Amino acid sequence: MYRRTFLGTLAAGSAGLAATSLAQAQDDDLQALYTQAKQEGKVVMYTSVPTFLLDRWKTLFVARYPGVEVEYFRSGTGKVLARVETESRAARIGGDVVWLADPTTFNGLVQQKLLLSYQPPEWQHITLAKSPQGYFTAGRILVGCLLVNPKAGGHAVKSFADLAKPEMKGKISIASPLISGSTNIIDGALWNDPRFGWKYFEQLKKNNVLVLGDVPDVARAVASGERAAGISLTMYKSQPEFQNSPMQIVMPSEGAVPVASPLGIFAKASHPAAAKLFYRFLLSPLAQTVLSEAGIYPARADVPAPTGLPELAQLHQIQPDFSWIAEHQRANQQQWRELFGG
């Protein structure tokens, strides 16, 4: 009995020492990265993440790691990718870290060997949509939903199908999948769903849908009352710009659309240590909690969902088929242009 107790205590102690050693090794690794990052001076991120989040993370990161500045180029996924393509042809990508909204785009970056394989300790806490080889991981989970303004006539909208009803003519808005990465996934899920398909989008066009560039533009149109409803993302209701508006989130009765937003490091980053340090910071509990507080689902399994929203696993969903979306990308873009222009 004593022997079993002793061995159990020894095993527990050894496990504790191992965990302490691992934690110490991770801290040492971060310290080594920080030392190198200070010599590099800065990190540059190419991203479609909203500016208010970037500014918040920048403040927290610089406070934790003085001497390493954060710069970013922020635009829609399409424009960020266009910049990457142009710079890649010139063999000189100016970014270190890349974070977009459309997971299918990262497959192309991997095929072009533009991303670094990197699996730091924080990577293990992500269970959704990550590259088995470590080239990227989900950094946040966006959720495609309906945004409605009851004061502008959106009180009866409960489903995607409701947007195609005659009474919503001239009252709805959507973003362009040619510009918005998250919209490409949301629309792709609908194109591939037999309940919708392209017939649904033809019905939206007949309903005089207002096609805007990006998902925040849809949120602005709904919040201002210019439109009564639109397809966008849950996160916009929580953004400072919209908190006092009458705009509301409606989870479509057919199911909301989850969009795993991928995060990675450029293989030839100009500031490789700073890139790794910032990447690890973005996947840390602190940075992921910033997402949750902003109404965005975090990618880390150990950070709770945003207040007022159900846990992701409890959400009724339309699961996008990323392989199908990627395979039919060109054909879908062409069909979109024929229907809506752009």
Same domain assignment for residues 122 and 236: no
Whether 232 maps to a domain, the answer reads yes
Q: What is the mean pLDDT of each run of 10 residues along the chain (342 residues)?
A: 32 38 55 96 95 95 98 91 92 94 88 94 85 92 96 96 97 94 94 97 97 94 97 89 92 95 95 97 97 93 90 92 92 96 81
Q: Is 165 a member of any domain?
A: yes
Label residue 256 exposed, middle or buried (CB < 10 Å: 0-12, 13-18, 19+): buried
Q: Is 230 helix (H, G, I), strand (E, B) or coil?
A: strand
> Do both 265 and 132 map to the same domain?
yes
Are 229 and 163 in the same domain? yes
Do the Cβ atoms of 214 and 175 come closer than 8 Å?
A: yes
Residue 252, domain member (yes or no): yes
Judgement on whether residues 227 and 286 belong to the same structural domain of the protein: no
Report residue 217: phi and psi, to 5°: -65, -35
Residues 253 and 264 in one domain: no
Do the Cβ atoms of 184 and 77 come closer than 8 Å? yes
User: In this structure, are 31 and 84 located in the same domain?
Assistant: yes
Tokens of 57: 């993370």
What is the pLDDT at residue 316?
95
Residues 168 and 303 in one domain: no
- Domain of 221 in residue numbering reads as 144-258+315-340
Residue 2 belongs to some domain of the structure: no
Q: Which pLDDT value is given to residue 15?
A: 38
178 and 254 within one domain: yes
Dihedral angle sign, alpha carbons of residues 18, 19, 24, 28: positive
Using an 8 Å Cβ cutoff, are 260 and 162 in contact?
A: no
Instruction: Tell whether 155 is covered by a domain.
Output: yes
Q: Is residue 19 part of a domain?
A: no
In-domain check, residue 278: yes
Q: Are residue 329 and residue 196 in the same domain, yes or no? A: yes
Q: Is residue 16 part of a domain?
A: no
> Are 124 and 222 part of one and the same domain?
no
Domain tally, the chain: 2
CB 172 within 8 A of CB 158: no
Q: Residue 261: its pLDDT value, please?
A: 92
| pLDDT score, position 69 | 98
Confidence at residue 28, expressed as pLDDT on a 0 to 100 scale: 55
Q: Kindly state whether residues 118 and 189 are assigned to the same domain.
A: no
pLDDT, position 336: 96
Tell me the CATH number at 222.
Answer: 3.40.190.10
> Are residues 303 and 323 located together in one domain of the fold?
no
